[in-house]
Amino acid sequence: DIQVKDLCHNDCLPFQKQPITACLMNAAFISALGSSYLYGYNLSVVNAPAMFIKSMYNRTWMERYGQPASTETVTLLWSSTVSIFAIGGLLGTLCVSSMVKALGRKGTLLLNNCFAVIAAVLLSLGETAGSFEMLLVGRLIMGVDSGIALCALPMYLGEISPRNIRGSIGQFNSILICLGVFTGQVLGLPQLLGQVGSKWPFLFAFLAVPALIQLCVLPFFPESPRYLLMERRDEAAAEKAFQRFLGKKDVSKELEEVYAEGHAQSNLQVVSVPQLIRNPAVRWQLITVIITMACYQLCGLNAIWYYTNGILAEAGFAGNIIPYITLSTGAVETLAAIVSGLVIERIGRRPLLIFGFSTMAVCFGFLTVFLNLQDRVSWFPYLSYVCILAVIACFCSGPGGIPFVLTGELFEQSYRPAAFMIAGLVNWLSNFAVGLLFPFIQAALQTYAFLVFAGVCILGAAYLYTVLPETKNKTFVEISRSFAKINKVPVQSPGDARELELQGELSLAIQPGQGSPKGKVTEMESSF
C-alpha cells in the first residue's frame, strides 16, 4: 500500500516542493482574467456583428455626406477596424518595458485596465453617437491594452511562481485567451447578441467587465517579489510578498534564490533592447524566442480564426449551422489549453512545442487533401472539419501558451522586459502579416494555401528540436549553461557559480545604513 506521506516525497508529483496557496492561484487567475481573456475575446468578437457594423458605417456616411458610401470605402473602413487592433498591440508592446520598470508588474496590469474601460465605452457608444471614428479609436486602444497585457502578464506570473509549477501557472495566460475566444463566439450567436440588430454594441460593452473585476481585486495581491527585491531593493516588501503567495512565514530560501539570481547577472540594471541584441551571452536565447513567437503566429491558427466561416463554407457546410460549428472549435481550444496546463510540468516545454508544431503540419497536409477531394467524396467535408479541430487542439497543446512561458525562462531579470518587448513586436507584426497576406495567399493557392503553414510548422519544429534545451524545473544557471556552448561563452563551473551566488547575496542584501544579511547562506537556486 502507498501512503500519502510516501506520495508527498515522490519526485514525479509537480507540487511536492512548494505549498500552493489560494493567494497564488487567485492572483494568477484574476490577472489573466483582466488581461489575456480580453485579448482572446477581441480576436473573435468582431466576427458576428460584421454585417451590422458595415451597415452602421454606410448609414453614418449617408448622414454626413448625403450619399451612400462606395463598396470600397466600406471595405476599407471594416478592414481598418479589424487590422488596427494589431497596430495598437504593437504600440502597447513598445510601451511595456518602461511601464514595468516604473510601475512594476502589478502596477502595469492595473493601469492597463483603464485602457480596456475607455475602449469599451468608445466601442459600445459608437453607433449611438453615429461615429465610426469611435470604433476605430476604440479598437486601437483595445490593441494597446492587449499589447501591454501579453508582455506584463507572463512576466508577473513567471516571477510569482515557484519554479516547479512555473509552467502550469504560466499556462493561465493561454487558458484565459482560449476562454476569451470561446466567450466571444457564444455571445456572438444569432440567438444572443450576434444578429439582433441594435444589440451588437453590448458585445463591446462586455469588455469592461473583466477589466473592472481585475481593477477591484488585483490591488489586494502583492507585487512581484523579484521585482521588489532586485529592482526596488525592498527586502521587507519582497519577504511579505513571498509569505503571502506561498502561505508560509519562513521564506529565507526564496530570498536567497533571488539574491543568487541577482548576482549571476552581469548587469543588475534593466537593459535596453539594443543592449540585449548586442549581448553575445543571450544571442541564441533571443533567436529562439523570436523564432518561437514568429511560429506562434505564422503557423496558421490565426488564419483559421479570421476566416473560419469561409473555410467551413468551402468545406461544404450549410451557412445556418456554421456559427455553431465555430463554437465547437472554441470549446476544443479551451479544453486543449487546460490539458496542456495540467501536463506541462510532467512532459516539459520542449516535447510539447515540437509535438504541437509537428502534428499541426500533418493536420494541415490532411486538410489540404480533404479540401481538394471533397467534391468527389460526400463525407470528406466532415474530415476537413475534424482536421480543423485537430489543428486547434495541437496548437493549444503547446505552441499556444509555451512561447510566453519560455520568454520569461530564458532571460535573467534585467533582460526580461527587453526580451518581452522583442517577443511582443514579433508577435504583433506576424499577426498583422497573417491577417493581411492570407487572403492573397488563399486567392493564389486556393486549397493548397495551408501547405504554406505546414512548412512553417515543420521549420519551427526542426529548429526547436535542434536548439532548444528543456527548461522544466531548471534554474536559470542551468538554462544559461545549456546555451553557453552555442553562444560560445565560457561555461561556469559549479564552484565558480557557488562563489558568485554567495557574493550575490551580500551585494544585494547590504544596503546603505544596514548590516550584513541575517542567517547563513544555504542552498540557492533561481526560480528562472
**Amino acid identity at 162:** P
**Amino acid identity at 276:** L
Cα(396)–Cα(398) distance, rounded to whole angstroms? 5
How many helices (H) does the chain have, and how many strands (E)?
25, 0
Cα(396)–Cα(174) distance, rounded to whole angstroms? 8
Single out the residue of 228, 289, 286 nearest to residue 254, CA to CA.
228
- 359 CA to centre of own chain: 21
Start-to-end CA distance of the chain, whole Å, equals 37
C-alpha cell of residue 169: 501557472
Cα(387)–Cα(368) distance, rounded to whole angstroms? 9
Residue-by-residue pLDDT tens, the chain, 528 positions: 334 333 333 333 333 444 556 566 666 667 666 677 778 788 777 777 777 888 888 888 888 888 888 887 887 888 788 778 888 888 998 888 888 888 888 889 889 889 989 999 998 888 888 888 888 899 999 989 988 988 888 888 878 877 777 777 877 778 888 888 888 878 877 777 766 556 778 888 888 888 888 888 888 888 888 888 777 888 888 888 878 877 777 777 777 777 766 665 545 566 788 888 888 888 888 999 999 999 988 887 876 765 566 667 766 677 777 777 778 887 888 888 888 888 888 888 899 999 999 999 999 999 888 878 877 777 777 788 888 888 888 998 888 888 888 888 888 777 888 888 898 889 888 877 776 777 677 778 877 888 888 999 999 999 999 988 888 877 666 777 778 777 777 655 444 444 444 444 444 444 433 443 443 333 333 333
Cα(198)–Cα(176) distance, rounded to whole angstroms? 28
C-alpha cell of residue 94: 513598445
Element housing 49 (H / E): none
Single out the residue of 26, 328, 353, 294 nearest to residue 189, CA to CA.
328
**From the CB of residue 367, how many other CB atoms can be counted at a distance below 10 Å?**
27
How many residues does this entry show for the chain? Answer: 528
C-alpha cell of residue 209: 467587465
CB neighbour class for 327 (10 Å; exposed up to 12, middle 13-18, buried from 19):
middle
C-alpha cell of residue 513: 545604513
Is there a contact between 255 and 238 (Cβ–Cβ < 8 Å)? Answer: yes
The predicted pLDDT at position 470 comes to 85
Is there a contact between 292 and 266 (Cβ–Cβ < 8 Å)? Answer: no
pTM for the predicted model, two decimal places: 0.76
Single out the residue of 149, 145, 81, 152 nearest to residue 116, CA to CA.
145
